[in-house]
């Protein structure tokens, strides 16, 4: 029986994780769960799964949750320290890191430092704290399983032999991208898209922030950096290929000419179940892949002129130090501003580029350096938005 701490239980990944737990009550038990604001959804989760501990983002939402869940033995808590505490609890075997954005870094790291198997959906924590994060994973001998579908596919396609073997035999990692809802749109048409249009992903159903990131290709940029940290490569060893059907979730190309791919219907329950049951596999209720129905798989190059975020991410990687935390923070502010209709869709990449260009990039020696860069970049981005100074 595996005890699960689910960080971000009310989100899209959180809900899919709960479905896998519910489908396999003999294998998984929800020990603890967290949510930021959604009291009603969290109350439902508590009543159904009866976790030992439930953590909310504020005292107010925590009290509301406790009110709705009277009679349950669950302990209701709130705040950052409580998040870190549930991730390192002794009854927890696995931490599903599914909080959205940079806010997920500290609790995810707390799980890593406690030696828990870490199921990483929260790509922003690895993007921003990359080397420090991977050093902690190594120091605490943590099993780190990527949940992002592409990285999960790469993980499955790499040789499962002794460490180091893949470095010699792998020639390229091929990261696939759906291209998002605006794959074929002109720059002119993209200049006036609404948050509603940008949130409508053609293949995946996801939270708002990652949906916008997918539409702007920032998601692929973050994933490029994520792949570099996870698999110890540079952007020069990763090819991004647009594959609109999202059936091949990514591939690994070997020096003998072999290419190994992982395929499946686009449903996050597959990589989630893989991470939870690794090294075994369990059933999901995802429909089997019917290749006759799919019939055709298409591939094309990404257009960096219409989607500059992808190149910005590679630039940030090569700049090193705090550049990735700076880019991530600028993007989080830009996405929120776009969702609040303060800036246009194309302004997201413009703002990101502007912040990355003017920011002072320094080396990352401690976690404080990452947090300082995050604060500084948010401040820069907000200032540019308020003065309309980035286009």
Per CB under 6 A, the segment of 178-186, 202-210, 245-253, 278-286 that binds ligand NAD is: 202-210
Nearer to ligand NAD, 268 or 327 (CB): 268
Pairing of strands 2-7, 170-177: unpaired
Using CB positions, name the residue nearest to ligand NAD: 11
By beta-carbon distance, which residue lies closest to Mg ion? Answer: 148
| Residues 9-38, interacting with ligand NAD (CB under 6 A) | 9-14, 35-36, 38
Q: Where are the alpha helices (DSSP H) in the chain?
A: 12-23, 39-49, 59-68, 80-87, 105-113, 123-139, 149-157, 165-169, 187-190, 195-199, 208-216, 218-231, 269-277, 291-294, 309-319, 323-339, 345-358, 367-387
Span near ligand NAD by CB under 6 A; candidates 185-193, 208-216, 297-305, 367-375: 208-216
Using the contact rule CB under 6 A, the part of the chain among 6-14, 128-136, 252-260, 320-328 near ligand NAD is 6-14
Residues that bind Mg ion (CB under 5 A): 148-150
Site string for ligand NAD, 116-155 (x = CB under 6 A): -----xxxx-----------------------x-------
- Give Cα 353 to chain centroid, integer Å: 21
Of 86 and 251, the one with the shorter C-beta distance to ligand NAD is 86
CB 19 within 8 A of CB 41: no
Stretch binding ligand NAD (CB under 6 A), from 174-182, 201-209, 329-337, 370-378: 201-209
Question: Which of Mg ion, ligand NAD, none is residue 100 near (CB under 5 to 8 Å by kind)?
Answer: ligand NAD
13 annotated as ligand-binding: yes
Phi, psi angle pair for 66, to nearest 5°: -60, -40
Measured from the CB atom, is 14 or 181 closer to ligand NAD?
14
Between CA 39 and CA 46 the distance in angstroms is: 10
250 closest CA partner among 231, 263, 236: 263
The Cα–Cα gap between 39 and 174 comes to: 40
C-alpha dihedral (50, 53, 59, 63), degrees to nearest 10: 30
Measured between alpha carbons, how far is residue 262 from residues 38, 93, 120, 168 in Å? 34, 27, 18, 21
Please answer whether residues 251 and 261 qualify as being in contact, where contact means their C-beta atoms are separated by less than 8 angstroms: yes
- In terms of CB distance, is 66 or 103 closer to ligand NAD? 103
Stretch 282-301 residues interacting with ligand NAD (CB under 6 A): none
Near ligand NAD by CB under 6 A: residue from 3, 5, 8, 28: 8
Phi, psi of 204 (to 5 degrees): -115, 150
Cα distance between residue 107 and residue 95, in whole Å: 9
* Smallest separation (angstroms) from Mg ion to the CB of 130: 17
233 to 292, contacts with ligand NAD by CB under 6 A? 268
119 φ, ψ to 5°? -100, 110
Residue with smaller CB distance to ligand NAD, 197 or 203 = 203
Residues 6+ apart with CB under 8 A from 135: none
Which residue lies nearer to ligand NAD by CB, 29 or 268?
268
Encoded one letter per residue, x for contact with ligand NAD by CB under 6 A and - for no contact, window 52-91 reads -----x----------------------------------
Q: Which of 43, 65, 100, 334 binds ligand NAD (CB under 6 A)?
A: 100
Q: How far apart are CA 71 and CA 134, in angstroms?
A: 42
CA 370 to chain CA centroid, nearest Å? 18
Q: How far apart are CA 10 and CA 33, in angstroms?
A: 9
- The binding site for ligand NAD (CB under 6 A) comprises 8-14, 35-36, 38, 57, 98-100, 103, 121-124, 148, 204, 206-210, 268
Residue numbers in the known binding site for NADPH are 10-13, 122, 124, 207
Binding residues: 10-13, 122-124, 148-150, 178, 201, 207, 214, 219-220, 223
């Amino acid at each position: 029986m595996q005890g699960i701490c689910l960080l971000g239980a009310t989100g899209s990944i959180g809900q899919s994780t709960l479905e896998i737990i519910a489908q396999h009550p003999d294998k998984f038990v929800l020990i603890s769960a967290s949510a930021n604001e959604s009291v009603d959804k969290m109350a439902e989760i508590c009543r159904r799964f009866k976790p030992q501990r439930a953590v909310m983002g504020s005292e107010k939402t925590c009290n509301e949750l406790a009110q709705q869940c009277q009679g349950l033995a669950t302990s209701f808590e709130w705040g950052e320290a409580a998040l870190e505490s549930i991730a390192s609890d002794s009854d927890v075997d696995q931490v599903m890191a599914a909080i959205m954005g940079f806010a997920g870094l500290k609790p995810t790291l707390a799980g890593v430092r406690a030696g828990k198997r870490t199921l990483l959906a929260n790509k922003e924590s690895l993007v921003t704290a990359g080397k420090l994060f991977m050093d902690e994973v190594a120091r605490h001998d943590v099993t780190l399983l990527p949940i992002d579908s592409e990285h999960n596919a790469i993980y499955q396609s790499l040789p499962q032999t002794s460490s180091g073997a893949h470095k010699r035999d792998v020639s390229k990692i091929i990261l696939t991208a759906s291209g998002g809802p605006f794959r074929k749109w002109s720059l002119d048409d993209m200049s006036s898209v609404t948050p509603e249009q940008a949130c409508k992903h053609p293949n995946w159903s996801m939270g708002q922030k990652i949906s916008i990131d997918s539409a702007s290709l920032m998601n692929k940029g973050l994933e490029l950096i994520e792949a570099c940290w996870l698999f110890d490569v540079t952007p020069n060893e990763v090819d991004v290929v647009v594959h609109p059907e999202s059936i091949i979730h990514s591939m690994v190309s070997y020096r003998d000419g072999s290419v190994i791919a992982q395929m499946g219907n686009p449903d996050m329950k597959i990589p989630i179940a893989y991470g939870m049951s690794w090294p075994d596999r369990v059933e999901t209720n995802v429909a089997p892949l019917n290749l006759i129905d799919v019939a055709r798989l298409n591939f094309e190059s990404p257009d960096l002129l219409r989607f500059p975020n992808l190149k910005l991410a590679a630039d940030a990687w090569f700049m090193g130090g705090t550049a990735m935390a700076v880019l991530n923070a600028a993007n989080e502010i830009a996405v929120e501003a776009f969702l609040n209709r303060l800036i246009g869709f194309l302004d997201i990449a413009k703002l990101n580029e502007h912040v990355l260009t003017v920011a002072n990039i320094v080396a990352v020696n401690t976690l404080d350096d990452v947090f300082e860069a995050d604060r500084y970049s948010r401040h820069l981005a907000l200032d540019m938005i308020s003065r309309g100074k980035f286009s």
